[in-house]
Structure 1
Amino acid sequence: MKSLILAMFFLFLSGCGASWHYSNTGTGTLKGKVLVQWIAPDQFMFIPDDSDPLTFTRSNGSVIKPEKMFTDGGSIPRPMWAFRNYSPWGYAPAFMIHDWLFVMKQCRLPGYEQYNHRIAADIMAEVMKTLMEDPRYGGRNKLVHYSMYKAVSSSIAEESWENGACHQPGDRSIDAFAKNPRMEYLITFP
């Protein structure tokens, strides 16, 4: 009985934290196309559309526009995939924006200095909330929003931010593959 009461207490606290965090996260504007090509199992390439690239304008007015990069979608532990909204592609635009910030940092691309791992987590939370506020994309889920924020702001994520290797497209065999992909996924935002 004590275990049940303790579990309910912690669930209540996480619900309060989730609600507070969601209320204090801004929203932005998401537009453009998400184009992802399959390279191999669990390996994908994000390719910006020439005429309508994925763009996120933050609540503070700054703009993030990802460039060509490798991605695995959201780095969600496989056992979590069994739960609704915890797939590596459930919030693909948020994951692409977040992955791009990591690529900028790890490859030392122009502008990377303005971000740190905590800011990258805040930005992913903004993109997720922007999606959740639009009923076409599933509606609000404060617990999913908060749990994903906690994961990407964790010390494990910070370690990856600080010490991850730079992997950029440019290998001729991969670029050749991108011209004739086996599979391609396209999502468009107004």
Structure 2
Amino acid sequence: MIVRCFGLLALTLLTACGSRIYDQSKPGEFTGSLLVMWVEGGGGEPGDGKFVYVPDLDRQGRALTFRRGAQTDGREVHIETIEPRLMYTDGGSVPRLVQPVKGLNPWGYAPAYMVHDWLFAANRCVNAKDANTDEAKVDGVTFRESFEIMAEMLKTLETQNPVAGSDVQPSAITWAVSSGISKRLWEDDTCPDPRIREDHEKQIKARLGIGVAGQQKSVRIAGENVPPARVVQVIEF
């Protein structure tokens, strides 16, 4: 009963706080292919386990890419095209407290969450002054811009590729990724080295047989003496 009451209260507050940003956002365009793989178990709680976004290519040779819509309200734009690279993902840095709410779970809006996670992963390495060429492309992006981009992506998904119904409005999700919890994650300067553990990379290759930078179409291979990772999400635009 307490959980249910919290859910109703949270829904009301989230929708109210995020509506302005979402309403002012303009849709962009998603292209390419999304592939998420499970490489390690967790404790059974929402968001547990190790998941990896793999920049696989679609039939037209395109990895997942988001191109922002035209911005006509005078806001400063530091990045226009975002192409996530190989990374661990938790589903958009959605605070665990609200993950059980349908629509705020890690995979409810997977394409938007992958791009959002990449912004955070790359920014951590920018903060640590250890960014590679791909990560350095987010240098200058502000925290506010990160959740404005999320609002744009949610609006894009609602128009370009309608998603399943949820218990919350996209404006509520916008609020969730603009919270103080998310801001602390944005300011983190923990840049992993290597970006992906060797054993997890081997699992991905065993399943897909690709260079992990996503330079060729996925093809299963044989002969790898490692347990293959499991595919948990595939979307093509």
Tell me if both proteins adopt one fold, taking TM over 0.5 as the criterion: yes
Between the two proteins, what is the percent identity of the paired residues? 32
Change (3 A) 1:15 1:85: closer
Report SS of the residue matched to 2:55.
coil
Q: Which residue of 1 aligns with 2:157?
A: 131
Change (3 A) 1:87 1:28: same
Deviation at 1:188, TM superposition (A): 2.8
Q: Which residue of 1 aligns with 2:197?
A: 171
Aligned mates of 1:136, 1:172 — CA distance in 2: 37
Report SS of the residue matched to 1:110.
helix
Q: Which residue of 2 aligns with 1:66?
A: 84
Deviation at 1:120, TM superposition (A): 0.8
Change (3 A) 1:185 1:76: same
Question: Mind listing any 5+ residue stretches in structure 2 that lack a counterpart?
Answer: 1-7, 42-48, 72-79, 127-134, 207-227
The alignment status of 1:153 with 2:153, answered yes or no, reads no
- Structure with the larger helix share: 1
Instruction: Normalising by structure 1, report the TM-score.
Output: 0.80
Aligned mates of 1:79, 1:14 — CA distance in 2: 13
The two structures, once aligned, show a CA RMSD in angstroms of 2.8
Aligned mates of 2:169, 2:22 — CA distance in 1: 10
Aligned mates of 2:84, 2:19 — CA distance in 1: 29
One-letter amino acid of the counterpart of residue 44, structure 1: F
Alignment of 1:102-141 (within 5 A): 102-108=120-126, 109-134=135-160, 136-138=162-164
Tell which deviates more after alignment, 164-173 or 37-46.
164-173
The alignment status of 1:144 with 2:169, answered yes or no, reads yes
Q: Which residue of 2 aligns with 1:57?
A: 67
Change (3 A) 1:155 1:95: same
Question: Mind listing any 5+ residue stretches in structure 1 that lack a counterpart?
Answer: 1-6
The alignment status of 1:162 with 2:187, answered yes or no, reads yes
Q: Which residue of 2 aligns with 1:29?
A: 29
For residue 47 of structure 1, the aligned residue among 31, 43, 54 is 54
One-letter amino acid of the counterpart of residue 24, structure 1: Q
Aligned mates of 2:176, 2:22 — CA distance in 1: 15
Deviation at 1:123, TM superposition (A): 0.7
The alignment status of 1:96 with 2:122, answered yes or no, reads no
For residue 229 of structure 2, the aligned residue among 182, 185, 188 is 182
